[in-house]
Amino acid sequence: MTETLIKVDLTKSAYDNDMVHNRWHPDIPIVAWTEPGSDFIIETYDWTGGFIKNDDDASDVRDIDLTIVHFLSGPVGVKSAEPGDLLVVEILDIGAKPESNWGFNGFFSKNNGGGFLTEHYPSAQKSIWDFEGMFTKSRHIPGVRFPGLIHPGLIGCLPDPNLLKTWNDREIPFVEANKDRVPPVGTVPFAPTAHMGRLKGDARDKAAAVAARTVPPREHGGNCDIKDLSRGAKVFFPVYVPGGGLSMGDLHFSQGDGEITFCGAIEMAGWLHLKVDVIKGGMAKYGIKNPIFKPSVITPKYDDYLIFEGISVDEEGKQHYLDVHVAYRQACLNAIEYLKKFGYSGAQAYSILGTAPVQGHISGVVDIPNACATLWLPTKIFDFDINPSAAGPIKYLDGSVQMPIAPDK
């Protein structure tokens, strides 16, 4: 029987589980060791440690303390892995915890986290998604059902002291220089809510004061939110500390490219079945700075899309120079406007783009002054025909079902 190296009890606080942590620091002790070539199971909390509830009230999304995230399981040590190696992680399988067969998606309030379209959707909202085996659907967003492309939003190895310093040296001044911006431009170390795993006492306090937050993706991978890092994928992670110190969490049942809703994809608690190996000296051998990976042989098979274009001209008509962020935002807004014609609220359409297996492409970055980004919406996830026709859109939804909203207090 495959060994479960880390277990989580969803009825207990993630802070009480010392095989869980919510910061990156080289001193966080490795909690379990395994051999190259072995396979094992790791259980995880959802990224908020169970803060977001399966109900029809978005006040939890509004009120969450975002310094508590992300609760990660680990670090796991792989014997023989040394700095400069590549840790090979094959994702054999991923699933939901049987006692928690659902997930959530939402948008944070602009005043507490924000998101990609926070200027358009400034209030906290959420949708709950139930799993039916490999499929999911939401009681808050009718007319749509799709299979999961389950993946860890966040996975990577512990940084060494130099890498941690590099992160803090570039991120802390950046946040300081923009400290009045709402929402903020980054996250800085914050000791009070740090969960440092098995590091205790003075050592814990000292490390927590400088430990990196888990929000951004970085050189080690981390919170990359790549939907294609799914079961069957094989990832090659840079190793910085002896044993690697692999940690993971933030499981997503499904996500659109960009995870534009930020709270987040379809977030869930669950388990990963992994197999590990080591490529000695692999970082130098292959010139690796950031992780590389091979996708799964299994993906949801959609071959019909409605593709929305966006250019780097913002909502006020202002020109931006080859800015793919602005261009992708326009593609998303264009898709939302389109879906509203079928009876969805803007929020419901936004949530679909954040959760369904939507593809985002950078289509052009040289045709000055406009970048072009495209959003690929799979047509077959809908219970009705969303294609344009001479007859015009059929209003499939009557607006009687809406997503819970929690206006700021």
- Residue (47 or 129) nearer to Zn ion, CB: 47
Provide, rounded to whole angstroms, the least separation between the CB of residue 211 and Zn ion: 20
Q: Which two tokens stand for residue 132?
A: 């039916």
Q: Which residue has the tokens 């359409």?
A: 349
Choice from 49, 95, 152, 153 touching Zn ion (CB under 5 A): 153
Segment contacting Zn ion by CB under 5 A, of 149-157, 234-242, 319-327, 333-341: 149-157
Q: How many residues bind Zn ion (CB under 5 A)?
A: 4
Looking at residues 28 to 47 of the shown chain, list those that interact with Zn ion (rule: CB under 5 A).
Answer: 47
Q: Which residues pair with 360 in a beta bridge?
A: 375
Q: In what order do the strands lie in the sheet with 305-311?
A: 305-311, 372-378, 359-364
Distance of closest approach, residue 255 Cβ to Zn ion, in angstroms: 8
Q: CB nearer to Zn ion: give 47 or 237.
A: 47
312 in helix, strand or coil? coil
What is the 3-state secondary structure of 319-354?
A: ECCCCHHHHHHHHHHHHHHHHHCCCCCHHHHHHHHH
**Nearest distance from C-beta of residue 351 to Zn ion, angstroms:** 14
Cβ 358 to Zn ion shortest distance, Å:
15
Stretch that binds Zn ion, among 23-31, 108-116, 145-153, 331-339 (CB under 5 A): 145-153
- C-beta closer to Zn ion: residue 355 or 370: 355
Strands 305-311, 372-378: pairing is antiparallel
How near is the Cβ of 270 to Zn ion at its closest, in Å? 12
| C-beta of residue 90 within 8 angstroms of C-beta of residue 234 | yes
Quote the least distance from Cβ 153 to Zn ion, whole Å: 4
Residue among 71 and 293 whose Cβ is closer to Zn ion: 71
Distance between CA atoms of residues 196 and 29, nearest Å: 9
Q: What residues contact 102, with CB distance under 8 A and at least 6 apart? A: 54, 96, 128, 129, 130, 131, 268
In this structure, what DSSP letter does residue 211 have?
P
Nearer to Zn ion among residue 256 and residue 343 (C-beta)? 256
Contact string (CB under 5 A) for Zn ion, positions 245-284, x = contact: -----x-------------x--------------------
Binding site for Zn ion (CB under 5 A): 47, 153, 250, 264
